[in-house]
Structure formats: C-alpha cells, structure tokens
Amino acid sequence: MIKVHPAKTMYCCALRRSASIFQHRWLVGVHLSAHHSSRPIQTTKQHHDDGRHEQGKHRRFGTTMALTGVFGLLAYKQTLSNDEQHKSRRHSWSLWPTVGAKTNADTTTKRSQRKDFNFIADAVEISAPAVVYLEIRDRQHVDFFTREPLTVSTGSGFIIESDGLILTNAHVVVSKPHTMVTVKLPDGRTFPGYVEHVDPASDLATVRVHCNNLPTMKLGQSADLRTGEWVVALGSPLALNNTVTAGVISTTQRPSQELGLRGKDINYIQTDAAITFGNSGGPLVNLDGEAIGINSMKVTPGISFAIPIDHAKEFLRKINESPAGTDRRAAGDAHTYRRYIGITMLTLTPEILSELQQRNHKFPPSVRGGVLVWKVIQGSPAYSGGLQPGDIITHINGKEIKNSSDVYELLLEQDKKLSISIYRGQQLTTVHVFPEDTTA
C-alpha cells in the first residue's frame, strides 16, 4: 500500500481546483462570445457600454487565475519543506518506521505443487528399486524357435534382505511342476532364482538369488491400516517392469472363508488398486514406501486382494526359527499335486457375487454360485483346453460346482476328460480339459 504525504494531497487538490475554475471560466467566455456574435447590430453607445462590461469580466477572470497560481505555488513550496523535514527526521531516528509499496521482487517464489502433492510418486521412488520380475519356465517344454524352456507364468516379488532374499506368492513359483525361476532386477541384471521356502496355506514363498548389496524394502505394519487409506501396488504385469497402480483400502480384513479359499486362514486386505496377474507377489505399499501387503489376486476391476504383511512376518519368523540343516522345501513338499489343470480359483460367495453384479453390468444375472477362474497357467491343460481368466465354472461333468473344494474333489477322481460348463460374459459354453497326472 502506497502512503501519500498530506502536503502533496493539498497541492494536487489545489491544482485540480484551479483547473476546474479555469475550465468553468473558459466555458463561460466561449458561451458569452457565441451568444454575443448572434446579437443584432447595436448603436455606438451601446457598443461602448458593452465593451466596458466585457473588459471588467476579463479583468476578473485574470485576477482569479493569478490568485490560483499563487496558491498553487505556496502549496508546492510547503510540500517541499515538509519532505525535507521528513527526510531529516528519518535520518535522525533510526527506529522510524518506513512505508513502501509492495512489488513483485518482494514476494517469495511460489512452491511447485508437483513437489507438494505428488505423494504417490514419492512412495514409488522409495519402494520401486526393491521390486523384481519373476519368470517361471517349464523345463519339460521348450520353445520351438529358441529351444529355451517355455515361459508358463510371470510374477513379481520384492527384496527383503540385501543378500538376495525375495518374498513372493507361493502360487507364483509353484504353480506348475518341473519349473525353474528366473529373477530380473530393476537394473536389468538377470539371475537364476532358487525357491527356498513355500507355504501353500498362507500362499507365501521365498526365493534367493546369489547377489549382495541389493536394495531392500522396509516392512511396515498392517494391523493399524484404515479403510480409505491410500496404497500403491507395484509389480511387473505382462513382463512390464515397475508398473504402478494406486487406490485406497476398501476393507482391512476380508476373511478367506468369505472368498471360498481352501485351506487358508488369512484376513486379506481388499483394495481398488488394480492388481493384474503379473502383479502377484509384488508389494502393496503405503505412502511411506513401506510394504504393508503382498499382492495376491484380482477378482474384477476394483476388487483385488493382498496378504497382510503381518502375516508374512509370521511366515518369515518361522523360517528363521527352523533348525539349521533341515530341508528348506519341506513346507512346499507337503502340498501334494495329484492331478493338475493349471488354474487358480476363487469361490463366488454371496458377498463377491453382490460386488461383481454392482461393478459389472455384463455379469450374467442367472449365476447364483460357482467358481471364478482368475489365473490360467500358460501351457497348462486348462490353457490348452481354452479356459480364460474371468470364466465362471458352474458344472464339471454334469456336477454342480458350488466352491473350489468341489473342483479339488473331482481332480482326485481318475476321469481323463473334464467337461467344464462356463459362463464367459453372458454366454454359456463348454470346454474340455485333460488333467495331467503329476504323481508319476
């Protein structure tokens, strides 16, 4: 705000008043001149009297202008005097306050909103260096052109120890027998991975690579998570490294019984962050860049699940407490493969059916139960038979399927062919799958 001196204000007012008086007088003179020019011819005497009258008017006008100039000059001198006194007083008193106009140079530079509000990018910057890409290859089948083992599945994991220990899902690394694991680091280096521990009940596994000084991810806590909290899912879907999706936590504890998962006792984290098949095993991180879950499965866009990190900590604690020299694959070998078709299933409980019907207007209205296929292993019998992710299995060999346990029971039988009735979108169709006997 600019402060104007009172004397300068007086001077400006005097000048404006003088200009106003001058303008008024000039307009009066012009009006009178115009009026007189239109008057008829007068006598000599009348003309003489009028001349003296006009001279009196001009004399008064000149006097007014002179007085206006004198007053203006006096006001200007008074302004100069006051300015000199103000300057001397300001120099004599060091604490005299100064007033000045605020200019652009005085303002601070505006802070970038990208740095203030890109909290997702901040979390990714912390956690992404520890995320790895896992490729699972079948040693019994080779590519026709390269003669390399055929890639049957992909997944993700994250490094939890700098000497090469990686945490991931069990279904990522043991989804098919006779497989080998290849680990690709974010810097492009590739190492063979060795599966050390597998726990099918918790769907967790550890893989190790022979490399040191690797970046690690800090493990957070899942017990204090809140519904609506921002989370970020990282992984490598479709072999695309470090793919990032974000969302919020929909439910902090979704019991595995509600999902119809067989042999599991886990309260899953439900999130609307997109988790695709390649994201499985990757971390679900909070805004501090800490892993608070392990991405596990996607039901439909907006409905995905992750294993709480507190559950994974318990799994790691049991590993560390196991006696030295024991078979580190013992937990994984406890899971017996009888007949194999190569799918990962999810029971359609009433709660999941309700959410699917709300989110997907193409969901078949006649479906009241069954099993959702959310992953198909490439090269597996189910893949060869034509099953696809998103298919809903309602019957196998004429028997109604109500949950995933019904499918496992049918695999114990010795039927060589499974006629599977499925809904794909709103179309009902049948595919034929020939299970593999993995006990031979």
130: its two tokens: 């520890």
The predicted-structure confidence for 354-402, as pLDDT tens digits, reads as follows: 888 887 777 888 888 899 888 787 778 898 999 998 899 999 999 999 8
Ordered DSSP codes for 309-329:
HHHHHHHHHHHHHSPTTS-TT
223: its two tokens: 């017990």
Residue 26: predicted pLDDT: 47
Asked if 391 and 421 touch (Cβ cutoff 8 Å), the reply is no
Q: What is the CATH number of domain 125-320?
A: 2.40.10.120
Cα(286)–Cα(291) distance, integer angstroms = 7
Per the prediction, the chain carries an average pLDDT of: 77
The whole-number average pLDDT for the span 281-297 is 93
Structural domain spans, the chain: 125-320, 338-438
Q: b vs e for 334-350, b when ≥16 Cβ sit within 10 Å of the residue's Cβ?
A: eeeeebbbbbbbbbbee
Is the pLDDT at 273 greater than 50, yes or no? Answer: yes
- Listed in sequence order, the DSSP H helices in 128-238 are 170-173
By C-alpha distance, which of 185, 176, 208 is closest to 328? 208
Confidence of residue 90 (pLDDT cuts 50, 70, 90): low
Q: Which amino acid is at 128?
A: A
By C-alpha distance, which of 228, 265, 279 is closest to 250? 228
Cα(140)–Cα(130) distance, integer angstroms = 31
Using a 10 angstrom Cβ sphere, with 0-12 exposed, 13-18 middle and 19 or more buried, the burial of residue 22 is middle
The whole-number average pLDDT for the span 406-415 is 82
Of the listed ranges 17-31, 146-160, 185-199, the one predicted with least confidence: 17-31
Cα(396)–Cα(224) distance, integer angstroms = 42
Residue 95: predicted pLDDT: 45
Cα(291)–Cα(293) distance, integer angstroms = 6
Residue 238: predicted pLDDT: 58
By C-alpha distance, which of 303, 306, 309 is closest to 279? 306
Q: Residue with structure tokens 């013992």?
A: 330
Strongest mean pLDDT among 71-85, 103-117, 351-365: 351-365
Confidence of residue 409 (pLDDT cuts 50, 70, 90): confident
Alpha carbon distances (Å) from 4 to 73, 85, 90, 310: 19, 15, 16, 69
The predicted-structure confidence for 23-74, as pLDDT tens digits, reads as follows: 444 444 444 444 444 444 444 445 455 555 555 555 666 666 666 666 666 6
Is the pLDDT at 222 greater than 60, yes or no? Answer: yes
Residue 114: predicted pLDDT: 79
Residues with catalytic function: 171, 203, 280
Q: Give the bridge partners for 340, in sequence order.
A: 436
By C-alpha distance, which of 354, 359, 431, 357 is closest to 394? 431
Cα(233)–Cα(283) distance, integer angstroms = 6
The whole-number average pLDDT for the span 128-155 is 85
Which residues have CB under 8 Å from 22's CB, separation 6+? 65, 68
**Could you tell me where the beta strands, DSSP code E, fall in 209-331?**
230-235, 243-255, 267-271, 283-285, 291-300, 303-308
Specify the DSSP element, H or E, that contains 180: strand 179-184
The whole-number average pLDDT for the span 292-311 is 88
Asked if 381 and 436 touch (Cβ cutoff 8 Å), the reply is yes
Q: Residue with structure tokens 């604690």?
A: 317
Residue 334: predicted pLDDT: 41
The whole-number average pLDDT for the span 314-332 is 67
Residue 168: predicted pLDDT: 95
Our CA dihedral for 306, 312, 313, 315, rounded to 10 degrees, sits at: 160
Class of domain 338-438: mainly beta
The whole-number average pLDDT for the span 398-408 is 87
Is the pLDDT at 153 greater than 50, yes or no? Answer: yes
Alpha carbon distances (Å) from 164 to 172, 180, 299: 18, 17, 31
Asked if 252 and 129 touch (Cβ cutoff 8 Å), the reply is no
Of the listed ranges 77-91, 117-131, 195-209, 268-282, the one predicted with least confidence: 77-91
Q: Residue with structure tokens 């095993």?
A: 281
Structure-model confidence comparison of residues 298 and 393, the more confident one: 393
By C-alpha distance, which of 284, 261, 259 is closest to 271? 284
Q: Which amino acid is at 304?
A: S
Residue 51: predicted pLDDT: 53
Structure-model confidence comparison of residues 282 and 58, the more confident one: 282
Q: What percent of the chain has pLDDT over 90?
A: 31
Q: Residue with structure tokens 């559950």?
A: 311
Structure-model confidence comparison of residues 99 and 76, the more confident one: 76
Strongest mean pLDDT among 289-293, 317-321, 380-384, 435-439: 289-293
Cα(72)–Cα(89) distance, integer angstroms = 26
Of the listed ranges 88-92, 124-128, 229-233, the one predicted with least confidence: 88-92
Cα(405)–Cα(388) distance, integer angstroms = 20
Q: Which amino acid is at 61?
A: F
Nearest 5°: CA angle at 421, between 415 and 425?
150
pTM above 0.95, yes or no: no
Residue 64: predicted pLDDT: 66
Residue 375: predicted pLDDT: 79
